[in-house]
């Protein structure tokens, strides 16, 4: 593969990122869960107070992968980074693109915060990739479990 570039995403990249988000949802066996639009991504990531940040991997003017992350806060450690998504188009996987995208966010965590957190589905083959880079499964080591109130639960709580 020719040399690819990892760069900070631009507002106009969000249409391509949106298509890859839909591809990620299909990969994760949740194709009907994507409720946002490219316009939502543009508004949320590039407004006066962005709620997320994004890097893209580009090859010959084609966006071939992305990562979305945001800053959060630990009452024990201070600022940290949460990696929401990392996705590489299938035909470009296992060529170093995902590792470069991951390292771009990890470098920010190393320089400006105290940790980098992310979720991985148990069956996802990327689990080995993340372990190779030093990731620790908190469910096993610290017995943390992730909980969520979805839209239905929130509506029930406040109705």
Residue 130: active-site member: yes
- Beta pairing, strands 5-8 & 53-59: antiparallel
Check 18, 69, 73, 130 and give the catalytic one: 130
Query: Phi and psi dihedrals of 18, rounded to 5?
Result: -60, -45
DSSP string, 120-145: --TT-THHHHHHHTT---HHHHT---
Task: Check: CB of residue 74 under 8 Å from CB of residue 114.
Answer: yes
CA-atom Rg of the chain in angstroms? 16
C-beta neighbour count of 136 within 10 angstroms? 10
Q: How far apart are CA 133 and CA 107, in angstroms?
A: 13
Which residues are the active-site residues?
A: 130
């Amino acid at each position: 593969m020719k040399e690819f570039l990892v760069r900070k995403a631009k507002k106009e990249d969000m249409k391509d990122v949106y298509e890859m988000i839909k591809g990620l949802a299909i990969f994760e066996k949740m194709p009907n869960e994507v409720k946002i639009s490219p316009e939502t991504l543009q508004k949320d990531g590039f407004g006066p107070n962005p709620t997320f940040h994004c890097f893209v991997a580009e090859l010959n003017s084609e966006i071939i992968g992305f990562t979305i992350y945001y800053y959060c806060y630990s009452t024990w450690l201070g600022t940290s980074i949460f990696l929401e998504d990392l996705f590489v188009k299938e035909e470009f996987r296992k060529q170093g693109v995902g590792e470069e995208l991951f390292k771009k966010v990890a470098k920010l965590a190393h320089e400006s915060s105290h940790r980098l957190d992310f979720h991985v589905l148990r069956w996802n083959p990327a689990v080995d990739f993340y372990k190779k880079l030093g990731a620790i499964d908190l469910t096993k080591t610290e017995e943390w479990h992730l909980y969520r109130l979805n839209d239905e639960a929130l509506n029930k709580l406040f109705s």
